[in-house]
A = this chain, B = another copy of it.
């Protein structure tokens, strides 16, 4: 997750296996903050830059990854711009559900529609461009409508995925593409 506190804004989330750090520049314009325990692989910045330059094949893969990332950021920007808070909340829940499903698969727990969102309400709100209060109200509305069940602050059970997709205002294909990055 990049940049969080104060009245700054969260401009992205990072998931396991994601790369971060600002290559080929003095410093990153954004801050990175962990919301869970993390295992990370750190390397010497200039050494890694050197390595990329010396191994064009690897740098080529890095370029492709960054091009994908660029698309994803633009896509997310389009979503946060023209949608209501409810649509953003629904989109976020669905995207996280696809991600956690992938993580649960290895536990053989495929049928479980439990979504884990490790962010605080404030962080989610910052990411979605709203306030914790408005976010909470929308989550509670979804629960009241039996679209989700709130297990606890960070765990949700999806009771009606179709309804969730409806609320997101996106087609299911678009949502899956967004989640895929």
Contact = CB atoms under 8 A, between A and B. Distances in A.
Interface of A: 2-3, 7-9, 11-12, 22-25, 29-30, 52-53, 56, 59-60, 62-64, 66-71, 73-78, 80-82, 129
A95 B151 CA distance: 46
A70 B66 contact: yes
B12 A67 contact: no
Given A59-B59, A78-B3, A64 B129 contact: no
30 contacts: A2-B74, A3-B78, A7-B82, A9-B78, A11-B75, A11-B77, A23-B67, A24-B63, A24-B64, A24-B67, A29-B74, A29-B75, A52-B60, A53-B56, A56-B56, A56-B59, A59-B60, A63-B66, A66-B66, A66-B67, A69-B70, A70-B70, A70-B73, A73-B73, A73-B77, A77-B77, A77-B80, A80-B80, A80-B81, A81-B129
A32 to B, nearest CB: 12
Number of copies of chain A assembled together: 2
Contacts of A73: 70, 73-74, 77
B23 A74 contact: no
Nearest to A23: B67
A5 to B, nearest CB: 13
A53 B59 CA distance: 10
A75 B52 CA distance: 26
A67 to B, nearest CB: 6
A37 to B, nearest CB: 25
A23 B23 CA distance: 20
Among A3, A12, A25, A63, which residue has the most Cβ atoms of chain B within 10 A?
A: A63
A89 B77 CA distance: 17
